[in-house]
Amino acid sequence: MLKAERKKELQIFAEEIRLETLKIIHGRGFGHVGGSMSLCEAYAVLYGEIAKVDPKNPRWEDRDWVVLSKGHAGPVMYATLGLKGFYPVEEAYTLNQNGTKFPSHTDRLMTPGVDLTTGSLSQGISQAVGAALGNKLDKRDSHTFVFVGDGEADEGEVWEAAQFAAHAKLKTLICFIDDNEYQLDGTCECVMSHGKGLDAKFDAFGWEVQLVKDGNDIEAIYDAIMNAYASSSDAPKAIVLKANKGKGATFAEPTHAHSSQPSEEQWQEALAAAEKRLDEVKKA
């Protein structure tokens, strides 16, 4: 369990990530706001408390690997890495512009701290499985964390990777599923239903599964990761986050928008609201 002081520090970190994510996308004027904002708390817990990384040595061989399979949510990762000290976070305000190190989808050859290139949905989890297998063969105790979208889980390659990970007993692989219930063309239920749920599907594929009913709750996310760490099972671990798409973005959260192109007035309203929320959390 997190101590109250540490929980507040992580809540502040999450709101800093949320604000910087908005600033990064605002630099381009449009982009994938919804699926970036839903992951701010998970990234805050992971990089603020859990992941073994070194901003001064991004390719440290004994690091934990973090893979954003839903690579279009790159802005949340860019914000987190910048705040963590991999580079000045303001550099990421050049998102997807000529000469930038911060493309629309995460690229390991361009951005310090990005372990694997992703964006073609479902390929990221396959690469993460490969990274976890490599670390196992090299007898490293590093964890591999991968973020998969619920819409992304429509892809068959996700389940090929899931099946292999269970077969290979990749116990240090932890997959976060951003189960925010929406994808590009509408609700997941309407576009491609996951039947009994993504938790049930990963369980059927041989994973050890936890369902976090509030996927934006700092303490619940932390507890789920600690449970995964404490497990004696050889199975890979899945943490299904029932997150809120667009959380904290005033123009995106009410509509669960996947991609947004708001007016400048809407941008300013959203940035002001995020700054206010950060200030409130600091004062609480």
Residue pLDDT, tens place only, 115-170 = 999 989 999 999 999 999 999 999 999 999 999 999 999 999 999 999 999 999 99
Residue pLDDT, tens place only, 15-26 = 999 999 999 999
Contacts of 46 (CB under 8 A, 6+ apart): 66, 145, 225
Q: Is the pTM of this model over 0.85?
A: yes
**pLDDT for residue 271:** 98
Q: Which of 45-49, 182-186, 228-232 has the lowest mean pLDDT?
A: 182-186
* Residue 241 near residue 178, CB atoms below 8 Å: yes
Class of domain 4-283: alpha beta
Q: What is the 3-state secondary structure (H, E, C) of the chain?
A: CCCHHHHHHHHHHHHHHHHHHHHHHHHHCCECCHHHHCCHHHHHHHHHHHCCCCCCCCCCCCCCEEEECCHHHHHHHHHHHHHHCCCCHHHHHHCCCCCCCCCCCCCCCCCCCCCCCCCCCCHHHHHHHHHHHHHHHCCCCCCEEEEEECCHHHCHHHHHHHHHHHHCCCCCEEEEEECCCEECCEEHHHHCCCCCCHHHHHHHCCCEEEEECCCCCHHHHHHHHHHHHHCCCCCCEEEEECCCCCCCCCCCHHHCCCCECCCHHHHHHHHHHHHHHHHHHHHC
Residue pLDDT, tens place only, 35-56 = 999 999 999 999 999 999 999 9
Report how far residue 39's alpha carbon sits from residue 185's, in angstroms, rounded to the nearest whole number: 20
Q: How many CB atoms lie within 10 A of CB 98?
A: 5
Of 212, 203, 205, the closest CA to residue 242 belongs to: 212
Where do the structural domains in the chain lie, given as residue ranges? 4-283
